């Protein structure tokens, strides 16, 4: 089955990230092959030398080491020339004492168009979009923010970690994980999909395999 990006003009969850050559502050790279075997977060920002975007880049850089611990890379994007990106990086280094270590895509508009980063009513600037792509190059999460709202980078870190744990352990993650109001730092066992499994759930809970409020709401402590 062909990737729906070419058909629809915008990616969907589960699509393979489209192959493209992009010019960045670290030279020309090919996506997603450049990050083969790694997760990556591609995030767009409206423009260089703008206040909210500057705070975001500093916040991303300060957490870059934590992303790398999750085998996850960062790459930024805006419809600006590479020269503007480089000069902006220099300004951040000189004035904020923060050196941006991840690449920034200098887009002519073609990448933004393919990924749906320019929204009607917001001019030609890209919105604050976030694409979380897994090690198999599949798009797992898409987040869109208006230009007026800066992103929470700890939340982006949280969702990368949560999806990796979910994949590895075949579990679901509750609201506000790992600080859920009902189950704390436990993870959710996917609900039963047949009568036999539903009947077995409470018996397995009695045996101490996990805890249940009912057969459809079971949870457990994640083994480390």
Residue 104 is part of a domain; what is its CATH number? 3.40.30.10
Distance CA(147)–CA(126), nearest Å, equals 8
What's the total number of domains in the chain?
Answer: 2
- Asked whether residue 67 carries a pLDDT value surpassing 80, the answer given is yes
Q: How far is CA 125 from CA 45, 78, 218, in A?
A: 8, 8, 45
Q: Is the pLDDT of residue 184 over 80?
A: yes
Residues 209 and 124 in one domain: no
Residues 141 and 212 reside in one and the same domain? no
Compute CA 175 distance to the chain's CA centroid, rounded to the nearest angstrom: 17
Q: Are residues 154 and 182 in the same domain?
A: no
- Report the greatest alpha carbon distance in the chain: 64
Catalytic residue (choose from 53, 72, 212, 218): 53
The tens digit of pLDDT for each residue in 110-127 reads: 888 888 887 666 555 677
pLDDT tens across 86-96, in order? 999 999 999 99
Does one domain contain both 159 and 51?
yes
Same domain flag for 104 and 131: yes
CATH of residue 195: 3.30.1020.10
Q: Range of 198's domain?
A: 170-224
- The domain boundary, picked from 167, 188, 210, lies at 167
pLDDT at residue 212, rounded to an integer: 92
Residues 157, 179, single domain; the answer is: no
Q: Which tokens go with 71?
A: 């085998």
Same-domain check for residues 84 and 187:
no
Prediction pTM value: 0.89
Question: Using CA atoms, how far apart are residues 88 and 92, in angstroms rounded to an integer?
Answer: 6
Q: Does the pLDDT at position 134 exceed 90?
A: yes
* Per-residue confidence (pLDDT) for residue 52, from 0 to 100: 93
Q: b/e string for 106-137 if b means 16 or more Cβ within 10 A? A: bbeeebbebbbbbeeeeeebbbbbbbbbbbeb
Instruction: State mean pLDDT over 82-111.
Output: 93
Q: Residue 113 has what pLDDT?
A: 82
212 is catalytic: no
* The domain boundary residue, chosen from 126, 147, 167: 167
Looking at the structure, tell me whether residues 49 and 103 fall in a common domain.
yes
Same domain, 72 and 176: no
Residues 90 and 191 in one domain: no
Write down which residue in 152, 167, 182 finishes a domain: 167
Q: Are residues 162 and 193 in the same domain?
A: no
Is residue 20 domain-shared with residue 102, that is, in the same domain?
A: yes
């Amino acid at each position: 089955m062909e990737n729906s990006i070419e058909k629809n003009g915008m990616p969907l969850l589960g699509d393979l990230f489209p192959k493209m050559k992009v010019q960045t502050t670290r030279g020309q790279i090919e996506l997603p092959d450049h990050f083969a075997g790694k997760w990556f977060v591609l995030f767009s920002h409206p423009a260089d030398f703008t206040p909210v975007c500057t705070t975001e880049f500093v916040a991303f850089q300060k957490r870059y080491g934590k992303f790398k611990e999750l085998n996850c890379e960062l790459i930024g994007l805006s419809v600006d020339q590479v020269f503007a990106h480089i000069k902006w990086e220099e300004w951040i280094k000189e004035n904020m004492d923060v050196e941006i270590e991840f690449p920034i895509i200098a887009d002519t508009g073609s990448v933004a168009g393919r990924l749906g980063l320019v929204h009607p009513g917001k001019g030609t600037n890209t919105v604050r979009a976030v694409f979380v792509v897994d090690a198999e190059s599949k798009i797992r999460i898409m987040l869109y923010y208006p230009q007026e709202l800066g992103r929470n980078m700890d939340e982006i870190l949280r969702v990368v970690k949560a999806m990796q744990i979910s994949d590895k352990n075949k579990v679901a993650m509750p609201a506000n994980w790992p600080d859920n109001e009902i189950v704390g730092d436990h993870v959710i066992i996917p609900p039963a999909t047949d009568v036999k499994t539903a009947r077995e759930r409470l018996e397995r809970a009695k045996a101490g395999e996990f805890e249940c409020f009912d057969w459809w709401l079971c949870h457990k402590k994640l083994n480390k």
